[in-house]
Amino acid sequence: MLKKVYFILFFLSLQGCAAQSTPNLVDAEMETVTTENLAYYLYYPINYESEPEKDFPILLFLHGGGDSGDSLVSIKRSGPPKMIVEGKQFPFLILAPQNPHQKKWWNTRAVNQLLDSVVKNNRIDKKRIYLTGLSRGGGAAWEMAVQYPDKFAALAVVCGMTPLPYAAWIDKAMPIWVFHGEEDESIPISESETMVDRLKGMGYDVKFTRYPGVGHNSWVKAYNTQDLYDWFMEQERMD
């Protein structure tokens, strides 16, 4: 029995030596650069020019997958951009970029760079940067809240896929409002239910609006809710 133990130890030591001297295992490093061309709309409140000493809030809106591509006019079909076309006025700037890839997720790093540039070059209140998105854009909004927890003052997500394992990475001081249709067959309401339950269980400030009998297009009701925009205007980061 003792001989077997010695043999096993000897065999393992040989394996260790082989791993350390493997000729086809190379340590290397390369700096990578990814670029993204993002077309976008930028809406200014009617009093932006008449109040030159004032800093304004800004809302970042991320559209759904159906409005992706290379035709910027597509993003006017839903959410705040559609309402602007219809004549609604907002008390904050609205940044609405377009995902150029019809069958790819949002490049949230590129979106963040665009947002930073717009904030830098306009009179923006950095403590009142708001975030919202629908469907694929809703999933991207969750992702940005995870990746950039110190940036946003409030988050509203409409029928978006959720990063449940990373819920605790979201800033606990940021208010969240979630909307979802109960009959959604594209992104089931369970996505929002489980995320809301997880966040509430950790003490997050989360509101959840369910729409009985509504399918995937719950954004129609959600973005026509005036209380949503009033709620945004009440939020401000304290740090």
Look up the CATH number of domain 39-233: 3.40.50.1820
Report which of residues 22 and 225 the model is more confident about. Answer: 225
Statement: residue 19 has pLDDT above 70: no
Statement: residue 97 has pLDDT above 50: yes
Statement: residue 9 has pLDDT above 90: no
Statement: residue 45 has pLDDT above 70: yes
pLDDT tens for 175-217 read 999 999 999 999 999 999 999 999 999 999 999 999 999 999 9
What's the pLDDT score for residue 32?
Answer: 87
d(CA 63, CA 39): 13
d(CA 43, CA 186): 30
Q: Report percent pLDDT > 70 for the chain.
A: 91
Domain boundaries, the chain: 39-233
Cα 47-52-57 angle, rounded to 5 deg? 60
d(CA 153, CA 232): 8
Kindly give the residue spans of alpha helices, DSSP state H, lying in the chain: 2-20, 79-85, 108-120, 136-147, 190-201, 219-223, 226-233
What's the pLDDT score for residue 23?
Answer: 72
Statement: residue 126 has pLDDT above 50: yes
Report which of residues 32 and 92 the model is more confident about. Answer: 92
* Alpha carbon distances (Å) from 168 to 32, 65, 71, 77: 29, 26, 37, 33
Statement: residue 5 has pLDDT above 50: no
Q: Report percent pLDDT > 90 for the chain.
A: 86
pLDDT tens for 60-94 read 999 999 999 999 999 999 999 999 999 999 999 99
Mean pLDDT of the chain: 92
